[in-house]
Amino acid sequence: MHSYFSSDFKLGILGGGQLGKMMLYDTRKYDIQTYVLDPSADAPSRIACNHFEQGDLMDYDTVLKFGQKVDVLTFEIELVNVDALEHLEKEGKKVYPSSSTLRVIQDKARQKNFYQNHDIPTASGTYFASAEAIQHASHSYPFVWKSTTGGYDGKGVMIIKSDADLHNIPNVPCIAEEMIPFKHELAVIVARNPSGEIKTYPVVEMEFHPEANQVEYVICPARIDDKVAQKARSVAMKVSEKLQHVGLLAVELFQTHDDEILVNEVAPRPHNSGHYSIEGSITNQFEQHIRAILDLPLGETASKIGAIMVNLVGAEDHTGDVHYRNIEEIMRLEGVTPHIYGKRQTRPFRKMGHVTIVNKDINKARSIAEKVKETIKVVAK
């Protein structure tokens, strides 16, 4: 058994954004040495790691050399060089989640095939190699267009309502996915360690912004029937077991009008839908990810209290040095904790922070969350 704590053990994290920064709250708690690689000189994680390197996460040599300096390597973003991760594994480095897990997840067409091959319920989808290929096919509208790689935060996803919409898509490999009329969008976070211990967090419900295609509120527990919640957790477990992933896996789901559960997509890392856990859960998602990749016993996933998370995103017509307007006002409200990620520059819809609202009564939390959303504004100075 390796001694991770207060020792010379080194944990490497590819990506130094807000997810890395929040993971580092917990490595600090445990006194685990951390190395972070990120392309930006002022990445949010810079202030909290032991050793920071600036470099391109998609560059083979950069990732390889970085990985050779650490004992266990993980990532907080999927857009990393998987060939380099595979090379490191062949050299005997521990990379969690593994390169093979990441290969499946990084490409949405591969991810879709994976669900279909393992009898995991999902919307049907068709792969197209280019914009031209999809423009020449016949479709029933509306459907969901997804680029197979590189999408995040509402980018790389479009609802296509007519032939005309098809002329606005970029020329990249993509999938056309059946549009599912759903009651709720849900998510379940699954933690799994190399020994095969596995735990799921309670189901959360996501309320979306109608225009930005970004989550406005994450609500835990989801306001759904117990039977549906059980089904959601068991579908998420199945995805995790088939992927044999290690670490955290966020499984995004649709609850259909007849209470079927369909997998939308997954992320192999701490996730926006789990931020509520910092204030709301016995073991927050970031600590759990660290426990899982280091093959430590997994922590208790139950909630201590009802929690709602509100994303703080850049105001629509603001670009420049960031200012958080009315932050003191929201801090006067009951059960409110802001998290500011430390990005100097704001731009429309960029994730700049989040706010958690906790309350024993989830409906009370929801009305306070609305007040938070109306009050705080992320603007340029």
| Average pLDDT of every residue of the chain | 95
Q: Is 54 inside any structural domain?
A: yes
Q: Is 345 inside any structural domain?
A: yes
377 is in an annotated binding site: no
CATH assignment at residue 172: 3.30.1490.20
180 is in an annotated binding site: yes
Residues 186 and 174 in one domain: no
Residues 150 and 205 in one domain: no
Q: What is the DSSP annotation of 270-328?
A: --GGGTTHHHHBSS-HHHHHHHHHTTPPPPP--BSSEEEEEEEEB-TT--EEEEEETHH
Task: Say whether 227 sits in a helix, a strand or coil.
Answer: helix
Q: Can you give the pLDDT at residue 355? A: 98
Element (H, E) at 125: strand 125-128
Q: What is the pLDDT of residues 347-378, one digit of tens each?
A: 998 999 999 999 999 999 999 999 999 999 99
The domain boundary, picked from 161, 178, 195, lies at: 178
Q: Is 4 inside any structural domain?
A: no
The contacts of residue 188 (CB under 8 Å, 6+ apart) are 200, 201, 203, 204, 232, 233, 235, 236, 250, 251, 253
Residues 202 and 338 in one domain: yes
Torsion of CA 342, 347, 348, 351, to 10 degrees: -20
Per DSSP, helices labelled H in 91-198 are 99-106, 108-117, 131-135, 163-166
d(CA 206, CA 198) in angstroms, rounded, equals 24
213 pLDDT band, cuts 50/70/90, is low
d(CA 42, CA 44) in angstroms, rounded, equals 6
Least confident of 18-22, 211-215, 321-325, 350-354: 211-215
Q: Can you give the pLDDT at residue 109? A: 94
The domain boundary, picked from 133, 150, 178, lies at: 178
108 is in an annotated binding site: yes
Torsion of CA 56, 152, 270, 368, to 10 degrees: 130
Edge-first strand order for the sheet with 157-160 is 125-128, 174-178, 143-147, 157-160
311: pLDDT strictly greater than 80: yes
Residues 83 and 224 in one domain: no
Give the count of beta carbons closer than 10 Å to the beta carbon of residue 191. Answer: 27
Q: What is the pLDDT of residues 98-156, one digit of tens each?
A: 999 999 999 999 999 999 999 999 999 999 999 999 999 999 999 999 999 877 666 78
Q: What is the pLDDT of residues 336-346, one digit of tens each?
A: 999 999 999 99
The domain boundary, picked from 95, 116, 138, lies at: 95
* CB-CB contact of 349 with 212 (8 Å): yes
Residues 153 and 211 in one domain: no
d(CA 369, CA 357) in angstroms, rounded, equals 6
208: pLDDT strictly greater than 90: no
Q: What is the mean pLDDT of residues 186-200?
A: 97
Residues 230 and 336 in one domain: yes
241 is in an annotated binding site: no
185 is in an annotated binding site: yes
Residues 316 and 201 in one domain: yes
Q: Can you give the pLDDT at residue 210? A: 73
161 is in an annotated binding site: no
CATH assignment at residue 354: 3.30.470.20
Q: Can you give the pLDDT at residue 101? A: 96
Residues 135 and 152 in one domain: yes
Residues 328 and 292 in one domain: yes
2 pLDDT band, cuts 50/70/90, is confident
Residues 247 and 132 in one domain: no
d(CA 325, CA 79) in angstroms, rounded, equals 32
Buried/exposed code over 86-118 (b: 16+ C-beta within 10 A; e: otherwise)? bbbbeeebbbbbbbebbebbbbbbebbebbeee
Q: Is 5 inside any structural domain?
A: no
Residues 217 and 287 in one domain: yes
Least confident of 44-53, 209-218, 337-346: 209-218
Q: What is the mean pLDDT of residues 7-11?
A: 97
Q: Can you give the pLDDT at residue 237? A: 97
Range of the domain at 145: 124-178
177 is in an annotated binding site: yes
Buried/exposed code over 264-296 (b: 16+ C-beta within 10 A; e: otherwise)? bbbbbbbbbbbbbbbbbbebbbbbbbbbbbbbb
Q: How many domains does the chain have?
A: 3
β-pairing verdict for 204-208 and 94-95: unpaired
Q: What is the mean pLDDT of residues 175-200?
A: 96
Q: Is 112 inside any structural domain?
A: no
Q: Is 100 inside any structural domain?
A: no
Q: Is 101 inside any structural domain?
A: no
Q: Is 264 inside any structural domain?
A: yes
> Bigger pLDDT: 167 or 228?
228
Residues 208 and 346 in one domain: yes
36: pLDDT strictly greater than 90: yes
Q: Can you give the pLDDT at residue 304? A: 98
β-pairing verdict for 33-38 and 10-14: parallel
179 is in an annotated binding site: yes
Q: Can you give the pLDDT at residue 153? A: 63
1 pLDDT band, cuts 50/70/90, is low
Please report, rounded to a whole number, the percentage of residues in the chain having pLDDT higher than 90.
Answer: 92
Q: What is the mean pLDDT of residues 195-213?
A: 89
Q: What is the mean pLDDT of residues 312-334?
A: 96
